[in-house]
């Protein structure tokens, strides 16, 4: 299972970096989205999901970390999802405004003439 998760994170990261290096703004936005998905998956996997452990303090269970699940990675990923959604929406609005002002969807605002 670890190999599959590592491959998924690697493919998402590689695809995101490749799209970030493209000349069109929509491809750059997709690359940023793929990178945020890769980081979210990485953080979620580092949280070491456990089975049959309590998420909150329960009576009768000792107060040590061996018996409880760590909620911090899940909270971090949830926060990162919300932030990346807002960032993507903002980038799309900026991209549409830039396209309207410059007439091109290239990152530098100019198209190469063949």
Q: What is the per-residue pLDDT for 114?
A: 60
How many Cα neighbours within 13 Å face the side chain of 33?
13
- Find out whether 54 and 67 touch, Cβ atoms under 8 Å: yes
Residues in Cβ contact with 104 at an 8 Å cutoff, skipping those fewer than 6 apart: 110, 111
DSSP string computed for 21-47: TSSBHHHHHHHHHHHHHHHHHHHHHHT
- pTM of the shown model: 0.78
Residuewise pLDDT in 10s, the chain (114 residues)? 789 999 999 999 999 999 999 988 899 999 999 999 999 999 888 876 666 766 677 788 787 777 777 778 888 889 999 999 999 999 999 989 988 888 888 887 677 666
Q: What is the per-residue pLDDT for 71?
A: 77
Question: How many whole angstroms separate alpha carbon 24 and alpha carbon 95?
Answer: 10
């Amino acid at each position: 299972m670890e190999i599959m998760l590592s491959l998924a994170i690697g493919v998402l990261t590689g695809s995101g970096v490749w799209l970030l290096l493209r000349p069109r703004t929509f491809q750059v936005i997709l690359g940023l989205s793929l990178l945020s998905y890769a980081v979210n998956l990485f953080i979620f996997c580092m949280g070491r999901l456990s089975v049959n452990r309590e998420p909150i303090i329960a009576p009768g269970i000792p107060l040590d970390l061996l018996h409880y699940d760590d909620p911090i990675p899940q909270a971090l990923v949830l926060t990162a999802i919300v932030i990346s959604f807002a960032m993507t929406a903002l980038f799309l609005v900026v991209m549409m405004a830039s396209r309207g002002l410059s007439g091109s969807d290239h990152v530098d605002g100019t198209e190469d003439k063949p």
